[in-house]
Amino acid sequence: MQERISTRAPLAKRLGNFWAYLLLTFGSIVMILPFFWMLSTSLKTYNETLAMPIKWLPSVPQWQNYIEAWNAQPYFPRYFVNSFFVTVVTMVVEVLLSILAAYAFSRMKFLGKNILFMLLLSTMMIPGEVLLVPNFITLRELGWYNTYYALIIPWVVSVFAVFLLRQHFLQIPNELQEAAYLDGAGHTRFMLQIMVPLSRPPIATIALLKFIGSWNAFLWPLIVTDKAELRTVPVGLISLMQDEGPQYHIWMAAATLALIPVVAVFLAAQKQFLESVARSGLKG
Amino acid sequence: MKFGATLGKWLDMPIGSTKSTWKRFWADTGLAYIYLLPTLLVLGTFSIYPVIRAFIISLYDWRIRTQEFIGLQNYKEVFSDPLFWQSVKNTLIFVAGTVPLEILLALGVALLLNRQIRFRSFYRLAFFLPYVTTVVAVAMVWLWIYHDQWGLLNSILGWFGVAPQQWLLHPKWTMMTIIILSVWKSLGYTVVIFLAGLQNMDKELFNAAKVDGANDRQVFWHVTWPLLTPTTFFVSITSIIGAFKVFTEIFVLYGGKPGPMRVATTIVFYVYEKAWDEWKMGLASAASWALFFMVLVVTLVQLWYARKRVHYD
């Protein structure tokens, strides 16, 4: 008896929660609706996309739209290969460089450490858009215009990633390092055998952020490439829109294909991802 | 002597320690610079050097093949270009349209999610999903939603008796279409940060307020809102800086143009057109300092605020 009463929330609270559920459900529907509409349109026939009143679902799902989108452009599969290649290489190199830099800044005493660290942090204050023009010119001078280097090298360092990893490295007790040092283990061995295995979650976080950021990048790839063979998926979508004309069922199929990798990666690691975003706000 | 000690401290030298410590210090210094070399190279080439270079380029009539030094001529030209001031104005309108709306909506959603409700992780996921998606792909979807003849938006509004509107064709709607898309896309990020701020609060304070007979509204205005100030501040700064840089949404919705009658020319769009349509790199560089300046002001406000908090917390 006692227990039953205590588990029942007071009426006011339950009413409040009713409104909360109603508003949240409505909000979620609004957020998800564009994705639903994208998927639904991607499976319609051309005539169904122009039907009035609108059809919420296709009569018969037209799966071949995806094949058509895939083959619509001579290079569409190539865009995916490019995007995967650029994304994976950028991500792996960024993780390696971040580990090295974060280790130096958290575990070593060296000449000019604080000055360098402040220099690093100060670069975070510069909006990347200001650097577009000079970097574009530098890139041409290096002969990297229309190369994978242009798409990868400028993005392999993330000061935010170094900072995040450094914060984590600082929490690992110093005694471990002293013990390793006395055992004759140098920095490189200590870093690889102790620090890295102990830091899997933040390493996964920075890799994840880079994967999504790199896959979604648009303005930079648009500027530094003009060859179709080097286009990444977002730039490829633009040329698909231009070349195919307004065939919305094909556009939506192409957009769906473009979103599958990021959404899959996000869903697989959403808990980690949401936690890292939440933590980034708590520092503020 | 004192100068030497100060310099040593600045350079992180272990002044006055034993010989073995010094030996280790120099060995570490060598190794540390090996670890840092690739990072410093990339950062130096693509983040630090270009800041200086952007300024140098802005002093030239810089084309792809020819460069001619013209002093401050580019700045003169930019500052007397009505389209440039229009782009500054449009950027500020966009910021004013997105940031308060996003904060208000996100705070509302976060407060609802902070109640004792079920399916919280589902709701959170639904709100967050747009944030991780590719701008180009989702802008294509919104392009289709906004379609004046067959679009979803006009159909849904039609149920409520609203006449179909030319969302993408009429300049009066242009800013709104971009604002809705941007808020939809980044709302979830702000929700997650607000939610973290709310869940990080000391529950004792709420219980104390309740014991003192405060109602929900009083608790919100006198406990939750003041405690949430740092989060609100962080979110405002991040969204303002993000909104200053709007480009891709416009590019996709309006087929590579800054909206009908150029009404959505933002600063980044202005820079993009000057550099990659007209190939006036010097002019584009001069204009991009406007963006730098605006972001800098916001960053300085943030630093000032952070410092104030450290002092008086």
Give the pLDDT confidence of B21-80 residue by residue, as tens digits. 888 889 889 999 999 999 999 999 999 999 999 999 999 999 988 899 999 999 999 999
Verify that A124 and A10 share a domain, yes or no: no
Chain B residue nearest residue A278, CA to CA:
B193
- How big is the CA angle at B83 (ends B80 and B86), to the nearest 5 degrees? 105
Verify that A92 and A153 share a domain, yes or no: yes
**A250 in any annotated domain:** no
Residue ending a domain, among A65, A99, A117, is A65
Verify that A29 and A98 share a domain, yes or no: no
Q: Model-level pTM?
A: 0.91
Provide the domain count of chain A: 2
Verify that A44 and A118 share a domain, yes or no: no
Verify that A37 and A140 share a domain, yes or no: no
**A110 in any annotated domain:** yes
Name chain A contacts of B122, Cβ cutoff 8 Å. Answer: 28
Name chain A contacts of B57, Cβ cutoff 8 Å. Answer: 133-134, 137
| CB contact (8 A) between residue A34 and residue B130 | yes
Verify that A56 and A83 share a domain, yes or no: no
User: Is the pLDDT reported for residue A8 higher than 60?
Assistant: no
Q: Which of B43, B127, B196 sits opposite A282 (nearest CB)?
A: B196
Give the pLDDT confidence of B231-272 residue by residue, as tens digits. 999 899 989 999 999 999 999 999 999 999 999 999 999 999
Verify that A61 and A140 share a domain, yes or no: no
Instruction: Output the six-digit token pair for A27.
Output: 């909000």
**A103 in any annotated domain:** yes
Name chain B contacts of A132, Cβ cutoff 8 Å. Answer: 271-272, 275, 288
Q: Can you give the residue range of the structural domain that contains A16?
A: 2-65
pLDDT at A11: 67
Verify that A57 and A82 share a domain, yes or no: no
Distance of CA A54 to CAs A30, A48, B13, Å?
Answer: 17, 8, 72
User: Is the pLDDT reported for residue A283 higher than 60?
Assistant: no
- B70: closest CA of chain A, how far (Å): 17
User: What fold characterizes domain B80-312?
Assistant: MetI-like fold (1.10.3720)
Q: Which of B12, B108, B292 sits opposite A130 (nearest CB)?
A: B292
Q: Which helix (H) or strand (E) holds B14?
A: none
pLDDT at B102: 97
User: Is the pLDDT reported for residue A6 higher than 50?
Assistant: no
Instruction: Answer yes or no: is the ipTM higher than 0.85.
Output: yes
Verify that A145 and A87 share a domain, yes or no: yes
- Which of B35, B91, B114 would you mutate first to test chain A, the one with the most A CBs within 10 A? B35
**A275 in any annotated domain:** no
Name chain B contacts of A114, Cβ cutoff 8 Å. Answer: 10, 12
Look up the CATH number of the domain holding residue A99: 1.10.3720.10
DSSP A66-129: HHHHHHHSTTHHHHHHHHHHHHHHHHHHHHHHHHHHHHHHHH---TTHHHHHHHHHHHTTS-GG
In this prediction, residues A162-179 reach a mean pLDDT of 88
Q: Which of A152-156, A217-221, A232-236, A278-282 has the lowest mean pLDDT?
A: A278-282
| CB contact (8 A) between residue B43 and residue A120 | yes
**A61 in any annotated domain:** yes
Rounded Cα distance between B270 and B290, Å, is 11
At A67, the pLDDT band (50, 70, 90 cuts) reads very high
Q: How do the domains of chain B map onto residue ranges?
A: 15-74, 80-312
Name residue B8's beta-bridge partners.
none
Helices A233-244 and A248-268 pack at an angle, to 10 degrees, of 170
Q: Which of A31, A110, A111 sits opposite B130 (nearest CB)?
A: A31
**A233 in any annotated domain:** yes
Give the pLDDT confidence of B84-136 residue by residue, as tens digits. 999 999 999 999 999 999 999 999 999 999 988 888 889 999 999 999 999 99
Verify that A180 and A232 share a domain, yes or no: yes
Verify that A210 and A230 share a domain, yes or no: yes
